[in-house]
Structure 1
Amino acid sequence: MEAMSTDRSAPAVPATGTWRAKVPGLALAVALALVATAVGTAVPVVGGPVAGVVLGVLVGVLVRRRADPSSVAVLSPGLTLASKLVLQVAVVLLGARLSLAQVAQVGVGSLPVMLGTVVVCLVAAAVLGRLLGIDRELRVLIGTGTAICGASAIAAVTPVVRASGSNVAYALSTVFAFNIGAVLLFPPLGQLLGMDQETFGLFAGTAVNDTSSVVAAATTFGSVAADHAVVVKLVRTLLIIPIVIGLAVLVARRDRLAAGDAVGAPRPPVWRLVPWFLVGFLLLATLNSIGLVPESWHGPLATAAAFLITVALTAIGLSTDVPALRAAGLKPLLFGGALWLLVTLSALGLMALTGAP
């Protein structure tokens, strides 16, 4: 039976004449995303994106078992659109939540902790991932998801590295599992270590990934901690920018080497390697920074971004190769756990060294 899959070579923007073919898959992804959003609203610590990818995987398995191959194939064009263009538009809208002035708000003392944990995590992901024999795509997805901001970071790097649906699903599940651990363990750990509200806000904003989990952990500790954690978390999201640019350069170099034209062929300028959706993300963040995005728009745009990410990740779940997930085994989960532990310990260590906040 033919499996649903996203065509990595397909253009991000489909031809006008093919839109009708994309309706079935896109409609299914949107419908399941609405259910996932309701689940995420009822259980904030889970969140819509994680609920979407899980629901997508489950429904995808049922569709493959009960439908004939031609019925399954009908869904593919719409799922490809949702997992590419919809995801890229969602990343653009994330910029509306950010202000470049927020970097100053968190204070210079907070930045060493934030940057230090990111560097530790990314270096460990590269080294430990190779030692454990983790697939390169999975190393990138779990590493960036753990280092920066969970589902949002995974969403941003997925189109750049052209990650497979099964790897995206595994990475999201891994990051989510340790987010739950952080929500349960970090508040009592903060009490045990005698942290004040702002200190715990920095800790939660640095060592927890998805926004929903950051808010859940910090709110348990106190309202001041929650406010500080959200600001730290939003500034941390800005690190998506250099990560995506760096990955785009590496992927372009890898493609040139694979084509055998590394020697003598002109290299494209760096600006051509910057994905269009990252330019849109920066533009929207800049407009917000200078006050051209009304504050009354922040909530609706953030809601729209969250829903579009949920639609895209639901489509990725529907396209997931479940046997490939099983074949991955437990090593990626152990890899994600090791990175989560390193981020937690490095955050605590850097906070002690710098006296932050």
Structure 2
Amino acid sequence: MKIKKNMVNGIIVTLVLALFAKYLAVFLPKLGPESLAMLLGILLGNTIFANQKFAAGIKWAEKYPIEIGIALMGLTVTFTTIKTLGVNGIAFILIQMIVTICLVLYLGKYVFKVSKKESMLMGAGNAVCGSSAIAAVAPTIGADDNQRRTTVATVSLTGVLLLLILPIMGPHLFGNHNLLLGALVGGTVQSVGQVVGTASLINATVVTYATLFKMLRIIMLTFVVLVFARMAQKENEQTRQKNGVIGQSQKIKVPWFIIVFALFLIINSLTRLPKGLTLGASNIASFFGIVNLAGIGLNLKFKTIKNSGLTFLSYGFVIGILQVLLALILIKILF
């Protein structure tokens, strides 16, 4: 999308906040830059930068850089990850993701009574990679901005909770078994940054294993997007039939950045790319993830949080707890 003159101020504010969060994270590693960007954004977006003159630019910075970041993530992973983790590791992640998505959809419909689209966004965010997955799924299911912001905030806050709990609970349960600790962190924590931050509070080897498990979840992003897109399409068709509307069903629209992500993943798996290129892609994708959360925080108003209420936060925290319990059960069975 073209940057217009009225967007410049908001874009600058969002980028500066993202850079500040990245700098501040050096002194507050337990929170990480993503969480700091979002929390500071919520505070500043409801006070200093509540003026409408920032709104257009903040909205642009919230939505478009993350698309580039998601596309570049394809250069940071390869199919070699699958081989590295082995059959048990692959089974662990696949079962963890499938059951997590099923639990999220079930609880959203029957317990917490949230909309189907919000449940899908929560499923993607928790099962795959936090805000990046939510940003990827949102346009394919027609979710609005408030639904996207609320789910990102909830998933990110759940990630902060896990970041504080897992470095204490993990070693208590698994001792110095770094592979199992990596599976626990990499299979449950939402964003890539939070995975690295959580694992680094244990030890460097756990960071390596946790990242591998997390990368496999990211590889599955394209499939998750397609599944949710098909679910949304089917629901729309049923709605049209109930309303007596007859027409040709719409094709599933896959966002450009998901297609590029898949292409980059294949290229990176088949060709040995320069380390500088993959490292650069990783750094840019990581920073754009921080920009995304800074923008979401700046755009997320207290009124929206109040309207979503304690119910939605409880929904997120319950899913986080269930994810950890599921991971512990699967680790016990598979490893």
Q: TM-score range by the shorter chain?
A: 0.7 to 0.9
CA RMSD of aligned residues (A): 2.7
Summarize the Cα distance change of 1:306–1:219 in structure 2 as closer, same or farther, 3 Å threshold.
closer
- The CA distance in 1 between the partners of 2:197 and 2:41, in whole Å, is 25
Shift of 1:177: 3.4
User: Does 2:72 correspond to 1:93?
Assistant: yes
Q: TM-score, normalised by structure 2?
A: 0.87
Shift of 1:78: 2.4
Q: Which moved more, 1:110-119 or 1:187-196?
A: 187-196
Question: Which position in structure 1 is the counterpart of 2:205?
Answer: 224
Contact 2:127 2:217 in 1 (8 A): no
- The CA distance in 2 between the partners of 1:160 and 1:324, in whole Å, is 23
Which of 187, 209, 226 in structure 2 is aligned with 1:245? 226
Which of 224, 232, 236 in structure 1 is aligned with 2:217? 236
Summarize the Cα distance change of 1:294–1:174 in structure 2 as closer, same or farther, 3 Å threshold.
same
Which of 87, 95, 102 in structure 2 is aligned with 1:123? 102
Alignment coverage as a number of residue pairs: 332
Which of 9, 17, 36 in structure 2 is aligned with 1:51? 36
Contact 2:76 2:282 in 1 (8 A): yes
Shift of 1:256: 5.5
Question: Which position in structure 1 is the counterpart of 2:133?
Answer: 153
- The CA distance in 2 between the partners of 1:257 and 1:83, in whole Å, is 32
Unaligned runs of 5+ in 2: none
Shift of 1:255: 5.1
User: Does 2:146 correspond to 1:199?
Assistant: no
Summarize the Cα distance change of 1:26–1:153 in structure 2 as closer, same or farther, 3 Å threshold.
same
Which of 304, 318, 325 in structure 2 is aligned with 1:338? 318
Shift of 1:310: 2.2
Residues 263-297 of structure 1 show CA distances to partners (whole Å, capped at 9, x for unaligned) of 65333444xx2111100111111221123531122
Question: Which position in structure 2 is the counterpart of 1:301?
Answer: 281
% identical aligned pairs: 24
Shift of 1:110: 0.8
- The CA distance in 2 between the partners of 1:318 and 1:116, in whole Å, is 36
Contact 2:150 2:304 in 1 (8 A): no
Question: Which position in structure 2 is the counterpart of 1:183?
Answer: 163
Shift of 1:262: 8.2
Contact 2:34 2:193 in 1 (8 A): no
Give the 3-state SS of the residue equivalent to 1:42 in structure 2.
Answer: coil
Contact 2:136 2:255 in 1 (8 A): no
Give the 3-state SS of the residue equivalent to 2:226 in structure 1.
Answer: helix
Summarize the Cα distance change of 1:353–1:269 in structure 2 as closer, same or farther, 3 Å threshold.
same
Question: Which position in structure 1 is the counterpart of 2:249?
Answer: 267
Shift of 1:63: 4.6
User: Does 2:311 correspond to 1:326?
Assistant: no
1:17-36 mapped onto 2 (5 Å cutoff): 19-36=4-21
Question: Which position in structure 2 is the counterpart of 1:290?
Answer: 270
Question: Which position in structure 1 is the counterpart of 2:151?
Answer: 171
Shift of 1:311: 2.1
Summarize the Cα distance change of 1:159–1:115 in structure 2 as closer, same or farther, 3 Å threshold.
same
- The CA distance in 2 between the partners of 1:240 and 1:64, in whole Å, is 34
Residues 117-166 of structure 1 show CA distances to partners (whole Å, capped at 9, x for unaligned) of 11221111111112212243432333322222223323322343454444
Shift of 1:235: 1.1
Give the 3-state SS of the residue equivalent to 2:74 in structure 1.
Answer: helix
Question: Which position in structure 2 is the counterpart of 1:7?
Answer: none
Shift of 1:76: 3.6
- The CA distance in 2 between the partners of 1:231 and 1:297, in whole Å, is 19
Supply the AA of the counterpart residue of 2:295.
A
Contact 2:141 2:233 in 1 (8 A): no
Unaligned runs of 5+ in 1: 1-12
Contact 2:189 2:195 in 1 (8 A): yes
Question: Which position in structure 2 is the counterpart of 1:75?
Answer: 54
Shift of 1:35: 1.6
Summarize the Cα distance change of 1:45–1:149 in structure 2 as closer, same or farther, 3 Å threshold.
farther
Shift of 1:324: 1.8
